[in-house]
Chain A
Amino acid sequence: MKHNDYDAIIIGSGFGAAPPALRLARAGLRVLVLEKGPEIVPRRDFRQTQDPRYLLQWFRGVDGPRFGMTYIEGLGGGSGFYEMVALRAPSLAFEQVVNGRRLWPRELDRDSMDPWYERAEEMMRVKQIRPEAVPASGRVFARMLSDLGHSCERARYAESGCINSGYCVTGCIYNAKMGPLTTYIPQARDAGAEYRCGATVQQVAPMREGGYRLDVVYGADGGTERLTAPLVILAAGTVGTARLLLESRRPLRLPSDHLGRNIAWNGGAKAAGLLATDLPDGDMFVGRTHAGVICYDFLESHRLTLSPVKAMPLMAMAALRLRAEEGDPFWGQPHVDLMRQFRQRILAIYAMGLAPPAARLRIDRRGRISTELKMSPELTEHYRRAKKLMNGLLERRGCRPLHLESVNREGMPHDAEHFGTAHQVGSCRMADRAEDGVCDVTGQVHGHPNLFIADGSAVPSSLAVNPCLTITANSERITAGILERLGVPSNGHVPERRTAAGPSSA
């Protein structure tokens, strides 16, 4: 066994891992970050391409009969590949109640989260898109809503110097996308944090003398190492953190029945329509990947937001069969006739809503993971209303709704309604009581001092917007709490070395 001397080990390197890596390193702690995926240098590694082989270097998926999640294994987690949209969750998101219980811990709401949102926004240079930078698809969507008497907001993005090249989701080759990969991580490294890529943590176990022991495997060759630290922060994402805790359930004696469960994903309903002849063209391929606008008008009535979607061809073809009419073939001349209109005359809409947590992650004896989703009446109704709303808006404005059919990895239609998402949260959710979640409001795993969760897996509900900013803000909040326990001043600077062994579980 190698000797190591870290005050804090962080597992994962994405949105949830970024704040503790930076803040703890700046506070003088010896910080090690373990990332399962490879190192990523945007200007060196990113390409503007639709080659699936390129994307599969980092994109991973876990699927089941009704629910699939996509996530990233690589330095910075999803921050290299997200659409850089960075929105605060609306107040309603924090007030969701399921089975008579508020999903979020009592002390968290939009007001209490706003300072942390502000900190995350400052780090990632979040700003509202200028009107002239809104892509054509966003503009035609805004026009459609305006004609129907509804409002539409210009969205906010984590970017600096975006030239609207349109390849956000394959990684920005101009380094204009802001996120952990381009902001927190370089600063954390400057502050002394050590990042190791290609490091898979197989198990976390408590040590008798306090702190935790991690079994780590490096790269394909499988070199192993056992690391220890008094403070461990889990930030491997909704899939990664849940998987690690499921595999560590025995040594950690995790009692929670919620581990790997209660996954929420914003509902994820889609619609598309052929534009009315009097509406101007959209454009799937010009401007940043996210279409620039979001509509909050239906948040109270339908508990969802609406955004137009600019689908890159690979993503559209890999996920959907598109037909003008239900009985049309999904191939051949009728399909080509439709695809000739794909770029300019098809408007796709995505509904992100406060859908109840309903999915779970399963892991079998051989370590294979899969998902399970049980459609509750509430979820069924949420989805039905979302589809009805979107198709109704299209029809009211004279557009012709198209028939969308999601397909599996073999190109066959799913047997039942299937949800695919990259917005998954909640597999190890925060809750005031141990019987309701995996970690408490401070992010600490119930019953395990100095073992924290700081990523999307702790976020207990759908947010109706992309979760990246909320994950980062919540991690900033959790990190501040850890520093407070360590007795580090709020400015984050400590003149002398400290260790994480000091504070108790409180």
Chain B
Amino acid sequence: MYNDERSRKTNVQRRDFIRIMAGAGLATACTPMRIGLKIYPREFDEHTELVDETLRAFVLTIVPGMPEDDADLTRQFHDPLFRLDAHCAYLASDLCSRAERITGDHRFATLAYEDRASVVADGLAAGGLTTRLYSAAAYVTQIACYASIYDDDKGCVITGFDGQFNIQRMAGVRDPHLDLFRDITSAGTGNPV
């Protein structure tokens, strides 16, 4: 598939990238971002596993330490809320072409973390629409991973976020210092005049 260099270079087609959306900006989400027209190899349309493994590697570059077997690792890219689905193939293609230029190996997913980080940094610094696409992808990835938006019970292993109903309540509080407030309040009521 993608290893067929000649095929990769000859089978190109135009893709309309209008209306990419990156925004999980909550209250103000869902405003389109215009990306314009791009070109990428057909393989990335024909082989979804290539796209998926590349995007999984992207996620593990943005948030290293996430469980690699997490079933939701790339779900944000296909979530209609974020409107990135139509642009996954292009993103994967761009990661691979940058990988080839920077490391000599186009298989982004198999690169070491440092090399993948160099590729992502290159994409983020590319300017214009590419920077916007990489930023958007990183943004929704961080939201999905750190906030565990697809599984209320899972939480996040990196931050120790518990998810719902895993609340430690106040028993988990250390260093109570209950006398502190009696010593340092100026009004005592919380409502100074």
Give the interface of A toward B (CB within 8 A): 47-53, 55-56, 59-63, 68, 70-71, 87-88, 90-91, 110, 128-129, 131-136, 139-140, 142-143, 145-146, 150-156, 163-167, 280-281, 283-287, 293-294, 296-297, 312-319, 329-333, 335-336, 339-340, 342-344, 407-412
Contact = CB atoms under 8 A, between A and B. Distances in A.
A54 B166 CA distance: 19
B68 to A, nearest CB: 14
Nearest to A294: B190
Contacts of A140: 175
Given A61-B27, A336-B64, A343-B161, A146 B190 contact: no
Contacts of B190: 87, 128-129, 153-156, 294
Given A131-B182, A313-B146, A285 B161 contact: yes
A294 B167 CA distance: 24
A416 to B, nearest CB: 17
B170 interface: yes
B23 A411 contact: yes
Nearest to B114: A333
Contact of B183 (A48, A146, A283, A294): A146
A63 B81 contact: no
Given A63-B28, A132-B176, A52 B181 contact: no
Nearest to A280: B175
Given A143-B177, A410-B22, A287 B170 contact: yes
Interface stretch (B3-11, B89-97, B133-141): B133-141
Contacts of A339: 146, 158-159
B168 A286 contact: yes
A340 B65 CA distance: 10
Nearest to B179: A131
Interface of B: 22-29, 31, 33, 61-65, 81, 113, 117, 120-121, 131-132, 135-136, 138-140, 142-143, 146-150, 152, 156, 158-165, 167-170, 172-178, 180-193
A51 B158 CA distance: 18
A117 to B, nearest CB: 8
Contacts of A48: 152, 164-165
Contacts of A314: 26, 143, 147, 149
Chain B interface secondary structure, helix, strand, loop or mixed? loop
B193 A142 contact: no
Contacts of A70: 26-28
5 contacts: A50-B163, A70-B26, A131-B181, A153-B188, A336-B65
Contacts of B165: 48
B193 A110 contact: yes
A61 B28 contact: yes
B136 A411 contact: yes
A332 to B, nearest CB: 5
B27 A296 contact: no
A435 B31 CA distance: 37
B57 to A, nearest CB: 13
Given A286-B167, A318-B26, A156 B172 contact: no
A139 B147 contact: no
Contact of B164 (A47, A55, A409): A47
A135 B173 contact: yes
B184 A146 contact: yes
Contacts of A340: 158-159
B180 A139 contact: yes
Contacts, number: 230
A52 B143 contact: yes
Contacts of B169: 163-165, 286
Given A52-B149, A409-B31, A153 B176 contact: no
A52 B150 CA distance: 9
B173 A51 contact: no
A189 B190 CA distance: 32
B172 A51 contact: no
Contacts of B61: 331-332
B186 A280 contact: no
Given A151-B186, A164-B170, 8 more contacts: A50-B147, A52-B143, A63-B28, A110-B193, A136-B173, A280-B175, A331-B120, A340-B158
Contacts of B28: 61-63, 68, 70, 409
A283 B172 contact: yes
A335 B121 CA distance: 13
Contacts of B176: 132, 139
A224 B136 CA distance: 40
B146 A317 contact: yes
Given A90-B192, A135-B173, A136-B173, A153 B185 contact: yes
B132 A412 contact: yes
B189 A166 contact: no
- Most central of B169, B175, B184, B193 by chain A CB within 10 Å: B184
Contacts of A59: 26-27
Contacts of A293: 181
A407 B136 CA distance: 11
Contact of A53 (B62, B81, B140): B81
Minimum-distance CB pairs A-B, first 7:
A411-B139, A61-B27, A409-B23, A409-B25, A61-B28, A280-B175, A48-B164
A285 B162 contact: yes
B25 A318 contact: yes
- Most central of A62, A87, A135, A283 by chain B CB within 10 Å: A283
B100 to A, nearest CB: 21
A296 B191 CA distance: 9
B52 to A, nearest CB: 20
A55 B158 CA distance: 24
Contacts of B81: 52-53, 56
B167 to A, nearest CB: 5
A152 to B, nearest CB: 6
Contacts of B156: 313
A410 B172 CA distance: 36
B150 A51 contact: yes
A280 B193 CA distance: 32
A131 B183 CA distance: 12
Given A59-B27, A68-B28, A296-B187, A136 B147 contact: no
